[in-house]
Structure 1
Amino acid sequence: MKISNKIFALLLTLLLIVGMTACSGDNKETTDTTTDTATETSAEPKILKVQVDVEVASMDPQIATDGTSFEVMGTMVEGLYSVDAAGTPILAMAERVDKSEDGLTYTFTLRDAKWSNGTPVTANDFVFAWKRLVDPATASEYSFIADIAGFKNASAIIAGEKGVDELGVTAKDDKTLVVELAFPVSYFESLMSFNSFFPVNEAFFTEKGDLFGTSPDTLLANGPFKMSSYEPAATTIELVKNPDYWDADAINIDGIQYQVIKEAQQTMLAYQNGDLDIATLAGEQVEQFKADPEFNNVVAGYLWYISPNLTVPGLENVNLRKAIALSYDKSAIANNILKDGSIVANFAVPTLLATGPDGKDYRETAGTYYETDKAKAKEFFEMAKTELSQDTFAYTLIVEDTESAQNVAQFIQSEVQTNLPGVTITIETMPKKNRVERMQSGEFELGLTRWGPDYADPMTYLDMWTTGSPNNYGFWSNPEYDAIIQSAKDGELSLDLVARWEALKDAEAIVMDEAVILPVYQKGNAVMIKSAVDGVEFHSVGINRIYKNVTKN
């Protein structure tokens, strides 16, 4: 369109007047608004920077088995329940639950929630995920936990005796999930906050196929954060706030960055440089920083132990296993090497895990086993040599490549070789994922491993050593033990809480008497947390750290 000279001159004059008014500062409201916007735009995003010492192994909720994977996944996905700061189950994806009087039927009404692709979270997302969990074709190492939860027909489906469609879970409609149990489970609601029971969107899973869970594009979130940068074995993982989360208004940080740093000195340098908000200390660092106001000591539920492979010649002998179990100084490991609040483990079920019908912690009334006794270790060793007609033994101990695990392994190596002359221990280090794979396949002799509790009951440990359990790395089998555990899960013992509790102590005694595992320590965590950070929740059961309520100033 052509503009006349007169109109052009008038427009130019108006522009000059507006420009002079804005520059003069007379229009204070305009000036202040501009300044506020600039400040808001330039503000640094509030990113919580967290150190972990092992890589994420899997982001598939029905496949993952390790604590780091559980923690990262727990920032992204919510199940029917979560837990509060005290570890008490609270409703999450479920808005309401109705329980039958006999404790065998739970009817959940889901809240209005969306996945990060905008798709509604439905009851079928839970049904699909849980059928995947028990399906033998999935080969989930955690399939057993569906039986622990009491799902009707779970054990038969896992054994291949029934089809997955017979699992006691039904999507009555998009918002109504009905769960049928074969027997009452007192800790059922606590279990429902665990990763294996997280939902999976069937259409999305089918679309992504074998790539599911391997990148931000193949992951969905229905929780506080969603993935922005991730690949398997990545050393840095980045998440951003999920605007589609049902409780997004309660999230006070913009994202989380995980950094995999295995070496303690490098970790503290990163923390001191401001590159980390949360860092775990090890060894001498604990003494150095324990007076720091940002130092925190947290008791964890992880039990560290040596698992001997009973199919390896020599290790089938219980006296040789007992000799090794008694030969290393656990107090020195906890107090001189780790120094992080870890305690000596003379047991298979940790302290501060569960309270019995008597109101006491399990460990208060259970026995203790394998207190370090080097003289007794030599007695057992002499018996083993006689029984095996052999004087020398050489074994390889596999251990993950974290600094603390290697330090512990080296100390055990020295202690065993010193106190049991004739036994040679070679250490082989590898990433945790490889160590777990080797132990699962039986391609090891001795393995330094750990287990963290999935729910607040001794069964979360004792169920591991039943015949055929994927976590029974030593391939031990004892019919009496299997019978106790099965009855405590869904048999006569399950109906008598007092008798069940005592029977679980008997079961632990069998595991210890047979030296199925050689306990070392119960983990404590010495953690540095920047003073600007508040609201990190530590839990000894299930997901160890939860960040939903974190603030960062």
Structure 2
Amino acid sequence: MRKAWPKMMSVLLLSLMVFLAGCNFSGNTSSEPEKKDDGEKGTEETETPKESVLNLSLDNDIPDLNQVKTTDAISFGILNNVMEGLYRLDENNEPTPAMAESVQESEDGLTYTFTLKDGVKWSNGDPVTANDFKYSWLRAMHPDTSGSYAFIISDFVKGGAAFAAGEADAEAVGIEVKDDKTLVVTLEQPTPFFLGLTAFATYFPLNEKFVTEKGDDFALNQDSILYNGPYVISKYDQAAGVTLTKNPEYWDKDNVAIETVNMKVVKETSTALNLYEAGELDKVYLASADVNTYKDSEDFATETEFRTYFIQFNLGKAPFDNENIRKALQLAYDPSVLTSVILNNGSAPAYGLVPENMAGVDGKLYGELEGAQLKQDIELAKELWAKGVEELGGEVPQIELLTSDDTISKDSGTFLQSEFKKNLGVDVTLVTQPYSGRLDTMRAGDYQMVINRWGADYNDPMTFIELWENPSNPHFRGNWLNEEFNNLVIAAKSESDDQVRMDNLMKAEKILLEEDAVLGPLYYDGLSYLQKPHVKGIVTHPYGASPDLKWATIE
């Protein structure tokens, strides 16, 4: 395994979130009462100075702030600013000590001994201890409490997979608390990017006493979360947004400049743009129709993300249990038209699942290798559609495409609806739901096909491809299982030869896309935005969670 990762040592770093990956941020103009040095509210409410307030927006509702359960970019992005792991990604995407003061790595690369900083505290004043990490990591893997991200720990920590499967007890897991400040972690195999992994949300600590007291109410509102990051949540409404205020107990509070961050849910990009123009937003992401208007503005800039949008077919629902129907729809649209005409925001057409600019092998990017490639072929699509309909007895049931209810998702859905009608004569009904509602519908398996997305947790193709290797919720991944695919992913995880490992991942991607037609690639995410010139230091990581507001300032 050591040979499998060396060229990624400086870039294979994990961040929190999701970005994920595509969150926009706005806020309101209401002010928060100032706090005294002792953290209590003053007897008189006074306005926070304008230069200490940052107004941002979220492009959809907030699904779940339970760090063990959540899977989406919006929730990860918020958690990344109110929580902190042993390490945090810095402004240059490098892992830097956070809760940890130092770490010692064994010569064989299997054992990490973390020493926590002096004086790190929870927002209630309790000390953050090594046991808070052990408790949290075990909770994230335990079959009774785990979520979809259990693998991000269990795949790497010794004994984690057996524990997550209910086949071993906690004592068999390679997490040891030497004392309140010393945590010893033993891995299954050398993992040079492990320090970056500890910056990911699932690796954040949890205070066992607090979680136990809250029970089923844990993480349901701002008072049922205990914070150890730069900010705390002072207001929380799943559908409306959050207000963050500076955490007076944070170890590095002197380097956090912004006192208050308002993050309001604004699903329509046109509404967000109007708020920006009115001075009520400090940053706004642009719809394609607005890019040409603003591209020469001093406020204009672009971001790139390792995030792929795709159609996901549900093989558990007719007619998508038919391979020819899936393959016909894969080939019946042109992603380049979607990116250049509909989106026009810097996104690139996707012909595979893995973003082309991710790390490959031997100094090459993944896009320079021979990965999966799907290109529009209308004539073949028509042949496959006719064959699929014949196999279904000559009649196709009504087809629905599920999307989130934000502007970009709806525009993408309308584009596909038009392409399927024009090129195949197929009528597709669009079903739009709030972001969290779409996720719930997918988890329940109650969809035929859906516009889905995934943002990289770290800079390697594995972060995309392993999602379909025995997923914890098969409904969420289209109810597709393939033994050959699973074996290739498993082999890649333990392979020490870089080229062989990458070959296995590329073969797995081709099975997923070209052979079994589980997905239809749409685009690799690019974002155009406006940001007020006086706002500096908002960090967007190309993978993991964004934004990172610790270093933000207002001049």
The answer, yes or no, to whether TM exceeds 0.5 is yes
Q: Bigger shift: 365-374 or 453-462?
A: 365-374
Q: Which has the higher helix share?
A: 1
Distance across 2 between alignment mates of 1:217 and 1:382? 57
Question: Is the CA contact (8 Å cut-off) linking 1:51 and 1:280 kept in structure 2?
Answer: no
2:228 maps to which of 222, 233, 253: 222
> Aligned residue for 1:327?
332
2:543 maps to which of 541, 544, 547: 541
> Aligned residue for 1:484?
488
Q: 1:359 and 2:363 equivalent? A: yes
Q: 1:410 and 2:417 equivalent? A: no
Tell me the CA shift for residue 393 of structure 1. 4.4
Question: Is the CA contact (8 Å cut-off) linking 2:51 and 2:554 kept in structure 1?
Answer: no
Unaligned runs of 5+ in 1: 1-39
1:377 maps to which of 335, 360, 381: 381
Judging changes above 3 Å, is the alpha-carbon distance between structure 1 residues 275 and 259 closer, same or farther for their aligned structure 2 residues? Answer: same
> Aligned residue for 1:446?
449
CA radius of gyration, larger in: 1
Distance across 2 between alignment mates of 1:313 and 1:221? 45
Instruction: Give the aligned residue type for 2:533.
Output: S
Tell me the CA shift for residue 155 of structure 1. 1.2
> Aligned residue for 2:307?
302
> Aligned residue for 1:250?
255
Distance across 2 between alignment mates of 1:139 and 1:109? 26
Distance across 1 between alignment mates of 2:190 and 2:290? 47
Instruction: Give the aligned residue type for 1:145.
Output: I
3-state SS of 1:537 partner: coil
1:520 maps to which of 519, 522, 532: 522
Distance across 2 between alignment mates of 1:44 and 1:344? 41
Q: Bigger shift: 368-377 or 335-344?
A: 368-377
Question: Is the CA contact (8 Å cut-off) linking 2:348 and 2:523 kept in structure 1?
Answer: yes
Instruction: Give the aligned residue type for 2:125.
Output: G
Judging changes above 3 Å, is the alpha-carbon distance between structure 1 residues 370 and 219 closer, same or farther for their aligned structure 2 residues? Answer: same
Note the alpha carbon deviations across 1:341-387, whole angstroms, 9 max, x for none: 1110100111233x234012122213342212222211222332343
3-state SS of 1:433 partner: helix
Distance across 2 between alignment mates of 1:230 and 1:188? 32
Aligned residues: 507
3-state SS of 1:546 partner: coil
3-state SS of 2:50 partner: coil
2:74 maps to which of 64, 68, 90: 68
TM-score, with structure 2 as normaliser: 0.88
The answer to which structure, 1 or 2, has the higher relative contact order (CA under 8 A, 6+ apart) is: 2
Instruction: Give the aligned residue type for 1:440.
Output: R
Q: 1:55 and 2:61 equivalent? A: yes
Q: 1:173 and 2:179 equivalent? A: yes
3-state SS of 2:402 partner: strand
Distance across 2 between alignment mates of 1:360 and 1:246? 40
Judging changes above 3 Å, is the alpha-carbon distance between structure 1 residues 286 and 181 closer, same or farther for their aligned structure 2 residues? Answer: same
Q: CA-atom RMSD, angstroms?
A: 1.7
Question: Is the CA contact (8 Å cut-off) linking 1:81 and 1:189 kept in structure 2?
Answer: yes
3-state SS of 1:137 partner: coil
Distance across 2 between alignment mates of 1:165 and 1:435? 38
Q: Bigger shift: 373-382 or 286-295?
A: 373-382
Tell me the CA shift for residue 545 of structure 1. 1.6
Tell me the CA shift for residue 461 of structure 1. 0.7
Judging changes above 3 Å, is the alpha-carbon distance between structure 1 residues 469 and 371 closer, same or farther for their aligned structure 2 residues? Answer: farther
Distance across 2 between alignment mates of 1:281 and 1:48? 19
Unaligned runs of 5+ in 2: 1-45
3-state SS of 2:394 partner: coil
3-state SS of 1:292 partner: coil
2:282 maps to which of 255, 277, 280: 277
Note the alpha carbon deviations across 1:507-549, whole angstroms, 9 max, x for none: 1111111211111111111111110101111111111221111
1:127 maps to which of 134, 141, 147: 134
Question: Share of identical aligned residues, percent?
Answer: 37
Distance across 2 between alignment mates of 1:364 and 1:225? 41
Note the alpha carbon deviations across 1:107-166, whole angstroms, 9 max, x for none: 100112111111111101100100110011114111121133x11111112211112343
Instruction: Give the aligned residue type for 1:428.
Output: V
